[in-house]
Structure 1
Amino acid sequence: MPALVNYGGNDDVRAGGLFFSKLTDPSLFLSVASNLNAYCPPRKRSRVAAPFFLDLEEMASAKDEPKPCSIDVLPDECLFEILRRLPGGQERSTAASVSKRWLTILSGIPAAEIPKKKKLPDLNGDVTKEEVEEDESDGQLTRTLESKEATDIRLAAVTIGAGARGGLGKLVIQGSHPTRGVTDLGLSAVARTCPSLRVLSLWDVPLITDAGLFEIASGCPMLEKLDLARCPLISDKGLTAVAQKCPNLMSLTLESCSGVGNEGLQAIGRGCPQLKSLAIKNCPLVGDQGVSSIVSSASASLAKIKLQGLNITDVSLAVVGYYGKAVTDLVLTGLQNIGERGFWVMANALGLLKVKCVTITSCRGVTDLGLASIAKCCPSLKQLCLRRCCYLSDVGLKAFVETAKALENLQLEECNRITLDGVLGGLLNCNRELKTLALVKCMGIKDVSSWTAPLPSCISLRSLTIRECPGFTSASLAVVAKICPQLENIDLSGLTGVTDQGLLPLIESSQGLVKVNLSDCVNLTDTSIATMVKAHGSNLKVLNLDGCKKVTDKSLLAVAENCSVIDELDLSRCMVSDYGVAVLASARQLNLHVLSLAGCSKVTQKSLPFLANLGQSLIGLNLQFCNLISTCGIGSLEEKLWWCDVLS
């Protein structure tokens, strides 16, 4: 025993000895403890009493130096694998806000590589819950980016955020940032993260090329509607990609796309059998071959066709007339190379049996013969709108109105060879279905000096518009009053020649006026307005007297006493005053929703309390150019009518 106690050597157990130092090694304690059976009471950790010094300058410098996040040290490939395993859309959206790098990586993760739901068994072995969030393929969200906010980064953020809320179904990009506009990179993010996209509209996005459209076609096979306007770098290759990979496409709109031609339209015709709507405007490379191919290929489904500013000839209209068996709406505008023969052949091809609405603008080929053929060969036609058809005369109009047995709506604008004699002649033998007649800026509409034939009676006509026809005066309006006794809506705006003498017969002959527009009829006075309000106040819902400078508070008094269902009242630039506004506000039966007093020079600050009382039902109030009302007064009124949209 003494020998053991006095033992000394290299493994001395005294403090400072080698064996002592080994025993103090924590790792050794862990390994030895498992082999000891002896009881050792717990000991307190020894307090370090050795003095220490702090280098304050070093600590300050260390504090100022940014410590890089350890995960950002990883390469993009590793971050890709990490971020694609995030459990849900909300988590991905949150991660995208960390940095631009994370946003870029997340926007490049294809939806197919994101883990889907996995059903997990519970303790009993039954499948009861799901690991991943609900399916994000609904695509119910709509997002719109305009002008400066349209950038690749913003677009990537939108797609990630939409993915967390059910998926993006409709994307509209209108304009682009001047220096950092949307490019193919942004569309790639959409294609990879939004497989449920059904509607894509690109308007004035000059940096998008065929590569971006190819990405959309590859990643969004459910695409149903594609609108491309002023995208000069997109060509037939992009449309071909869409045709090959988006068979569900139902609507295609092309406007001012200088690179798109016949080849792309042919591909759409072959690959998209469900196409229902086609609109092509100002595409110089599109000709007869492209239009004919797509119309003939989609003849079973194509219901709406709009062709504007194209270099097509009579051949295209012949194809439309023959293969347009499903067409219900046809719009033809600015087709300068199509003559009378084209419209005649289109009608006589006997394919447009289902067409209901036809709009033709600035087409020199529309003549009396062509119009008569359309009426004869389109038995379902209900609405016809003709604008700037300079070769159309009274003869063609009469023949058309007499033949079109299903016609309900006829609109003529800037057809200067049409006269009032032709209109009355058409009404003499019109069908009983005609409900709406509109004559706008037709310089040939003038007073009839004598009418020898018996005046027609168009009992079915409910809406009459004669707007900005300077030759139409009170004498002609009195004739119209005898012809149309069942009018409900009248629009005589801009007829400076109409006076009380012409309006009063129309008021007396009408059964119940509902909507009346008399804007800029500067020669009308309180006499006719008050008479109209008293006769039709129980039915009148909309009254527009904008610019009627001879209308005063007397008309407002009649409105307050007789109008019980009026919704909209426009008194802009009239001679009404504070007294008239007070009278209007005192009418308990009024339930006005929209009131306009713009440019009323006699309306002052005194009207504000009355407008506040009137505003319980108002949702729109126009006080623009009321110079006698201060800005402070407008602000106070806005506070009281916080639910109303006040224009000042």
Structure 2
Amino acid sequence: MESTSTEITLLSKIFANSSTEETLQELETGKHQDKEDIDYFEDLNNLENLETLRNLQNLDDSNDLEDLEDLEDLDDLEDLEDLEDLPIRLDTLPIIILRQIFQLLGPEDMFNLGLVNHRTLNILHTLSSWSFTEQYSLQKIAANLKVIRRIDLSVPDPQGLYTLVRSHPELTCVHLNYCPYISDKELDLLLSLPLLTELEVSHADKYLTGSGLGMKEPRALRYLDLSGCNLITDFGLESILNKCRKDLKSLKLRECMKLTDKVISKLSKLCPAISLLDISLCNLVTGEGLASLASLDLNTLILQSLNFPVIQPGILRISKQCRNLETIYFSCSLEVSPEDICHVLSSCSALKHLFMSYCRSSEASSPWRLDLNSPLLRSLGLRGCSGLDETSIQSFSNKHKQLEFLDISRVNINDDQLIQIMSSNPGLEILNLSGCQSITDKSILCVPKLVPKLGEINLKGTRTSNHGILTLRSARFIRVIKCDHLLAETRQILLNECPRIQRIESFFHAEMF
């Protein structure tokens, strides 16, 4: 059963599969989303990773080795320096490393690997989590894996999905991306899984309405994402939520454009424990519907691409009653004054993360002049916001001095203004300057000194050169660099002199380390 040649062939397939992440990126930000959608997901991903980045910065170079409990085959860590002399064989690699490698496998390689020996087969069975971005026989997956607790599928085949779910009732997390052919039949089956806690069914926009569900015992769902299911009506969503118990925490209804105030006003009864709500692009929802959410204990509210004057009364009531509201995301296509925004958010004393995209305004009425009563504010997104001048930048620098995340992409800001902002916020950890065409090396040369904790920077669309980017090697905690053009020599210097670097992305090319 064991064969050295077979193992080397399989390993070469594994390590050659370097396009897995690029494929995932392409599906997540592909043709189904416009530019604003991509920006939206970038913001959320950065927000989720901010706490992780902060924790990583506090780690010493001599990291705790308690997580290496799976290194049972390498008892003496002093022998690690001799690993380069070992042959490249599956049976010489520790389990913790094999698990990470197997995550990159495609379905066919996965099944072939299961034939190598009992050790690899057992690892495959215990991994219990797979992501498949290619069309493959889901019936074969169901037949070959004994235990599957989590699946991430893109454009799944409905019949194959039905077989997979029926044969694996132990599933707890199901994420289906861009599944236009999924209907109420498959959704009903998914909601019948006894252990299901997370469910994502995005862009099921051909057959899924939610009105054809059977009457079964409610499930203990905590996370539900129906983004892009634009055929779901008020009645359909109510039928779906009735199949969930009262402990649903996160509900994403982005681009469910048939939903109205009728069902939104019932959310406080249907899911009273909800803390995250996304109703972006639900253009039939008004301030009256939002006002009914004030009785919920919301933590995160996402209202992208909604008409701010229409929803303003609802946000005002929510901000007054939802004392634990920490994150608000909205974008405005109409001119909105900072006075209106401050009036709406004046009661959000717990606000930590605020994202405003494409707020149009004059210099006299600029979002850069925001005077929020939010001492805990740590993340601020002003992507594409206008009205920036010398007076407003001075006001901004005086009022915001504790930011850790700042997104000023596609803003007409110059080097001197950026230096002023960085000087006022030395604790910045993530800085997005994408599309800031007036930014040059002048301000980037000041980054290591002014923001020493910076871990991620996006310089795409700026006028920075390789010389300026090389300055980032002096930034002690830099982990992610995104730029347009990067010479091979510059890349290598960054890799050699930035021990914490994890990702360098340039000119549609991403590289993980």
Q: Same fold (TM over 0.5)?
A: yes
Residues 266, 290 of structure 1: 8 Å contact kept: no
- Once residues 240 and 503 of structure 2 are traced to their aligned partners in structure 1, the CA distance between those partners, rounded to angstroms, is 49
Cα distance, 1:485 vs structure 2: 4.2
- The structure-2 alpha-carbon separation of the partners of 1:333 and 1:157, relative to structure 1 and needing over 3 Å to count, comes to farther
1:293 aligns with 2:239: yes
- Contact 1:247 / 1:272 at 8 angstroms: preserved in 2? no
Q: CA deviation at 1:301?
A: 1.5
Counterpart of 1:194 in structure 2 is: 145
Aligned residue type for 1:482? N
C-alpha distance 215-473 of structure 1, shift in aligned 2 (>3 A): same
Structure 2: how far apart are the matches of 1:526 and 1:402?
38
Aligned to 1:238: 186
Q: CA deviation at 1:303?
A: 0.6
- Where does 1:564-603 land on structure 2 (aligned, <5 Å)? 565-568=475-478, 599=485
Q: Is the 8 A contact 2:291 2:317 kept in 1?
A: yes
Out of 317, 337, 345, which is 2:284 matched to?
Answer: 337
Verify: 1:307 aligned to 2:258, yes or no: no
> Counterpart amino acid of 2:138?
L
Partner residue, 1:274: 220
SS in 2 for 1:188: helix
Q: Which residue of 2 aligns with 1:431?
A: 374
Q: Which protein, 1 or 2, shows the higher relative CO under an 8 Å CA cutoff with sep ≥ 6?
A: 2
Q: Structure 1 stretches of 5 or more lacking a match? A: 1-88, 95-139, 177-181, 447-471, 569-592, 626-643
1:221 alignment partner AA: P
Deviation of 1:360 (Å):
1.2
Give CA deviations for 1:410-436 in whole Å, capped at 9, x if unaligned. 110023359764646652x51322222
Matches within 5 A, 1:240-639: 240-244=188-192, 246-257=193-204, 258-263=206-211, 267=215, 270-310=216-256, 311-347=258-294, 350=295, 352-353=296-297, 355-364=298-307, 366-388=310-332, 390=334, 393-416=337-360, 421=365, 423=367, 426-427=370-371, 430-442=373-385, 445-446=386-387, 472-486=388-402, 492-500=408-416, 502-503=417-418, 505-506=420-421, 532=446, 536=450, 549=463, 565-568=475-478, 599=485, 615=496, 617=498
Change (3 A) 1:196 1:418: farther
- Structure 1 residues 359 and 564: alpha-carbon distance in aligned structure 2, compared to 1, 3 A threshold: same
Q: 1:144 to 1:391 in 2, by over 3 A?
A: farther
> Does the 8 Å contact 2:277/2:300 carry over to 1?
yes
Aligned equivalents of 1:419, 1:299: Cα separation in 2: 49
| Correspondence for 2:11 | none
Cα shift at 1:376: 1.9
Residues 196 and 220, structure 1, Cα contact 8 Å, conserved in 2: yes
| Residues 170, 195 of structure 2: 8 Å contact kept | yes
Match of 1:169 among 93, 105, 128: 128
- Give the counterpart letter for 1:301 in structure 2: D
**DSSP-derived class of the 1:305 partner:** strand
From the superposition, tell whether residues 203 and 614 of structure 1 become closer, same or farther in structure 2 (CA, over 3 Å). closer
User: 1:205 corresponds to which residue?
Assistant: 156
CA distance in structure 2 between the aligned counterparts of 1:499 and 1:341, rounded to whole angstroms: 44
State the SS of the aligned residue for 2:285: coil
Greater Rg by CA: 1
- The answer (yes or no) to whether the contact 2:142–2:164 under 8 Å persists in 1 is yes
Amino acid at match of 2:373: C
Q: Which consecutive residues of structure 2, in runs of 5 or more, have no partner in the other structure?
A: 7-98
Give the secondary structure class of the aligned counterpart of 1:165.
Answer: helix
2: distance between equivalents of 1:431 and 1:566?
A: 30
User: How has the CA–CA distance of structure 1 residues 369 and 175 changed in structure 2, closer, same or farther, with 3 Å as cutoff?
Assistant: same
Matches of residues 39-58 of structure 1 in structure 2 within 5 Å?
A: none
Residues 238, 263 of structure 2: 8 Å contact kept = yes
- Cα pair distance change 1:432/1:197, threshold 3 Å: same
Name the CA distance, whole Å, in 1 between partners of 2:348 and 2:282: 24
Alignment partners' CA distance in 2, 1:202 and 1:534: 41
CA distances 1:527-567 after superposition (whole Å, capped 9, x unpaired): 6666x4696376666676666658897x799x59xx85534
Q: How far did 1:155 drift?
A: 7.8
Change (3 A) 1:566 1:395: same
Q: Which amino acid aligns with 2:289?
A: G
Aligned residues: 409
Match in the other structure for 1:590: none
Counterpart Cα distance in 1 of 2:337 and 2:410: 24
8 A Cα contact 1:382 1:407, kept in partner: yes
Q: Secondary structure at the match of 2:382?
A: strand
Displacement of 1:343 after TM fit? 1.7
Q: Could you give the per-residue CA deviations for residues 354-408 of structure 1, whole angstroms, max 9, x where no partner exists?
A: x211111223475221211221232211000102464865454122221112111
Per-residue deviation, residues 491-547 of structure 1 (Å, max 9, x unmatched): 5555445253x45655665566666665665656776666x4696376666676666
Aligned-residue offset at 1:230: 4.0
Contact 1:344/1:373 (CA < 8 Å) preserved in 2? yes
Q: Report the Cα distance in structure 2 between the residues aligned to 1:175 and 1:370, rounded to whole angstroms.
A: 43
**Retained in 2: the 8 A contact 1:302–1:326?**
yes
Q: 1:615, CA displacement in angstroms?
A: 2.5
> C-alpha distance in 2, partners of 1:164/1:514?
41
| C-alpha contact (below 8 Å) 1:304/1:330 kept by paired residues | yes
Give yes or no for the alignment of 1:220 onto 2:163.
no
The RMSD of aligned alpha carbons is 4.6
In the aligned structure 2, how far is the partner of 1:492 from the partner of 1:243? 41
CA contact (8 A) 1:299 1:325 kept: no
Q: What amino acid is the match of 1:276?
A: R
